[in-house]
Amino acid sequence: MKRNIVIGAVALLLLVVVLVFWNPFDSSTKSGGDIHRQGLSSSSPVIKLDSTQRVALPPSAPVSDYPKFVSGVVEPYLDVTLGLVVQGRVNKIIYAEGRKVPNGAVILALETAQEELEVARRKLIWQNRAELKSAEVAVRTLTGSLESNRQLYNQTRSVSKEELDRLSLQWESAVAERDRLLNQELREEVEYDMAVTVVQSRLLKAPTSGVVEKVFLKVGEVYQPGQPLVRLINSDRCLLVANLDDSHSYSFKKGMVVDLLINVGEQEVKKRGIITKVPYAVDPASGVMQVTVVFDNKDGFITPGVTGKMLLPQP
C-alpha cells in the first residue's frame, strides 16, 4: 500500500517536470531554425503574418524615375501662308494644290493688263532720247564756236566783247538744258522700274521651294490685302517639337545630335536629328518646355503631323 503511494507520487512529479520544460504549442524555435537554414539573417526585415509565423522580405532594388524618351509632334520645316499687298482679281493659278514649286516661281497671278500697259508707256518715254541728242549737239556746236571766238578776241580783237558774252550765255544755257534732259532721263528710268515693280507686286512668288498645300481663292475671285492666298509647305526637312516637363533636369544643348523614333503607320522609323532650339524658360501657361530637333526628310517618307519620340541621354 505504501509502495503504490510512492510510485504514484514519482509519476506525478515527472509529469509536472515534462509539462514545465516542453510546450507543444510553441513553434517559434522551429520557425527560427527554418529561417536560419534558408540562409537569411535573423535581423532581416520581416512581415508578421500571425502570432506564430514570420516571413523575411526580399531586398529592395533601386528604382530610377528618369525618363528614357520624350514625345513630340512632327512639323514641316517651313509652313507659311502667303499673300499680296495689292487688291486685284485672280487671273491665273500656275501651281495648283499638291504641286511642287521651285524657289522663286510664280504660284498665282492677279490681273495685270492695265499695269502692263503702264509699263509699256513708261518704257517708250524713257527710251525716247530725241531731245537729249539735240541738246548734246547744241552743246558741242556752241562749245566749238565759243572757243573760236575767244581765240579771235584774244589774238586780234576782231570779235567784240558783247558777241563773246552772248555766245558764252548761249553755251551755258545749252549745257543746262542738256543736264536737265539727262536728269529727266534718269527720272523716266526710275518711273519705268516703278511700273515694272507694280506688275511684279501682283504676282505671288514662292519664297522657297515647297509644295502648295492650299489655294484659298479661285480664278475670277477678288483678293483683298491681308487675306490668306496660298499655303506653302516644305517638308524636305522636318522638325520634331517635343514637350518637356520641368520635373527633371535635362542636359540638352544646341547642336546636339539625338536619335528619334517617328511613328509611320504601325512601325517606328529611326531618324537622327540635330537640336536647333533649347528652351531657357518654362511656359507659364502649360508648364512645359519645348525643344526642337531638325531631321532630313528628302525622301518624303515622313508625313508632317505624325507623332514621334526623342531618345534622351541618361544622366
Identify the sign of the CA torsion 249, 255, 257, 258: positive
What is the residue type of 210? Answer: G
Find the mean pLDDT for residues 269-273.
Answer: 91
| Per-residue pLDDT tens digits for 108-151 | 999 999 999 999 999 999 999 899 899 999 999 989 988 888 88
Q: Which residues in 201-305 belong to E strands, given as ranges? A: 203-205, 210-215, 222-223, 230-245, 257-264, 267-277, 288-296
| Per-residue pLDDT tens digits for 20-79 | 555 554 544 444 444 343 443 434 343 333 333 333 333 433 333 445 888 899 999 999
**Range list of H helices, the chain:** 2-21, 28-37, 113-127, 130-155, 161-200
Find the mean pLDDT for residues 273-293.
Answer: 82
| Per-residue pLDDT tens digits for 254-268 | 898 989 999 998 888
Q: What percent of the chain has pLDDT over 90?
A: 50
Identify the pLDDT of residue 180. Answer: 93
Q: Residue 198 pLDDT > 70, yes or no?
A: yes
- Please state, in angstroms and rounded to a whole number, the distance separating the CA atoms of residues 250 and 310: 13
Identify the pLDDT of residue 218. Answer: 95
Identify the pLDDT of residue 65. Answer: 45
The structure's pTM equals: 0.63
Give the three-state DSSP class for 200. Answer: helix
pLDDT band, very low/low/confident/very high, at 189 (cuts 50, 70, 90): very high
Q: Residue 53 has what DSSP assignment?
A: -
Beta carbons within 10 angstroms of residue 201's beta carbon: 15
Identify the pLDDT of residue 278. Answer: 83
199 phi and psi, to 5 degrees? -65, -45
